[in-house]
Amino acid sequence: MQVTAIVAAGGRGERLGASQPKQMLVISGRSILERSVQLLVAHPAVDEVVVALPPDLAAQPPAWLTRGGKVVAGGPRRQDSVAHAFAAISDQTEIVVIHDAARPFASASLVSRTIQAAVEAGAALAALPARDTVKRAKGGSVTGAGAAEAGPYYVRDTLPRDTIHLAQTPQAFRRDVLAAALAYGAREASDVTDEATLAERAGYQVRLIEGEMTNIKITTQEDLAIAEALARPVGAVAGRAGVGYDIHRLVEGRPLILGGVTIPFERGLIGYSDADALCHAITEAILGAAAAGDIGRHFPNSDPQWKDASSIDLLRRAAAVVAQCGLRVENVDASILAERPKLAPFVDEMRANVAAALGVEIGRVSVKGKSNEGVGEIGRGEAIAVHATAFLHAR
């Protein structure tokens, strides 16, 4: 059974009042969109992910997103965005999961239970039973834009609490059910807030499964504050630090590569890989912070596949190991000890390469070139060494 997940991220979240689409806002180091997409990319039951973005973002999506799934331009309404994504799914897809990008804290278990319910019933959604007494207001709502000016409001009636459920995503559908629901929406020009409503109106029964209190939808500034608290694991330490060190001799006939940059010089560093001491030291630092061994354990010089390997690629692989440990790189700081050549003209390119390998912004990477003041083999120009520190946070 092939399962495709659609992430509905075609809106801009104007109610939040941010200067950018809300799905691109960062919560504890990762964007809302990344958190929601990665949940589905990493899920063992999901075979492909299609993300509907505003047209301008779809034209230039984040690099990490293009590696994890398909991207399509959304439409003016939610169901238009979902329809665009539905048109791009694989022909082999049997079950379609739809998830709001604005719900970054759904669990993998919730996704699994929704998929299973859709397999059994044809359509399913996560929902929470109402815990409070439910009052319907006369004339509108006591919250939302303009509510303060429009009131006062009064109780119209009280609804039976045991019949009320608050809809969430993920929602999941057999392919034929979702196709019929979207066709109904296009035909009837219905403007709805979720695909389960379209399925209901198209005549299908939708099964309810129990949602999660932490599966909040980020709509307001208050939601952002709650999200920041949820992103910080209970009892988690502020962070984890690691230290890395590497040194290589300079020899004739080798290119000098530091931070993935080939630097014009008459000599280069000797080693089993490309001997990029900067990448090696940072790799040691992030692996050390994660308590995940060292560079020799993961990329031993006894393995021919690492012969002359790009150390930027090794750093990227080490960052993946760190991610599997449930950690992310917060920042790195490295000092390159070399008498010659002058490294200042190449530092920003090194930073950019390292940041891309680690999957962080360039502002989280510091690289400095320093002289060893003529002391030792570094001072005599026989070698180059690098000291690095890394700071990691829980993902």
Quote the DSSP letter at residue 16.
G
Domain with CATH 3.30.1330.50 in the chain: 240-394
Q: What does the pLDDT look like over 98-155, one tens digit per residue? A: 999 999 999 999 999 999 999 999 999 999 999 899 998 886 555 554 444 555 788 9
Q: Are strands 267-269 and 261-263 parallel, antiparallel or unpaired?
A: unpaired
pLDDT given at position 151? 59
**Domain 2-131+158-231 belongs in CATH node 3.90.550.10:** yes
Q: What does the pLDDT look like over 159-210, one tens digit per residue? A: 998 889 999 999 999 999 999 999 999 888 778 889 999 999 999 999 999 9
Query: 327: helix, coil or strand?
Result: strand
Would you state the structure tokens that stand for residue 350, as one six-digit string?
Answer: 């090194």
pLDDT given at position 146? 46
CA 281 – CA 244 distance, rounded (Å): 5
Q: What does the pLDDT look like over 274-319, one tens digit per residue? A: 999 999 999 999 999 999 989 998 998 888 889 999 999 999 999 9
Domain with CATH 3.90.550.10 in the chain: 2-131+158-231
* Percentage of the chain lying above the pLDDT 70 cut: 92
pTM: 0.60
CATH number of 240-394: 3.30.1330.50
Q: What does the pLDDT look like over 351-384, one tens digit per residue? A: 999 999 998 889 899 999 999 888 999 999 999 9
- pLDDT at 237 exceeding the cut of 80: no
Residue 225's pLDDT band (boundaries 50, 70, 90)? confident
pLDDT given at position 153? 80
Contact 6, 83 (CB under 8 A): no
Quote the DSSP letter at residue 189.
T
Contact 86, 179 (CB under 8 A): yes
**Nearest of 124, 116, 126, 108 to residue 3 by alpha carbon:** 116
Per the rule left: phi > 0, alpha: psi between -120 and 50, beta: everything else, 165 is: beta
Residue 232's pLDDT band (boundaries 50, 70, 90)? low
pLDDT given at position 226? 87
Higher pLDDT, 68 or 326: 326
Q: Which residues contact 385 (CB under 8 A, 6 or more apart)?
A: 245, 246, 247, 277, 336, 337, 338, 378
* Mean pLDDT of all residues in 215-244: 80
**Nearest of 99, 100, 67, 72 to residue 86 by alpha carbon:** 72
Q: What does the pLDDT look like over 177-190, one tens digit per residue? A: 999 999 999 888 77
CA 64 – CA 58 distance, rounded (Å): 13
Q: What is the overall mean pLDDT for the chain?
A: 89
CA 76 – CA 82 distance, rounded (Å): 11
Would you state the structure tokens that stand for residue 351, as one six-digit string?
Answer: 């930073």
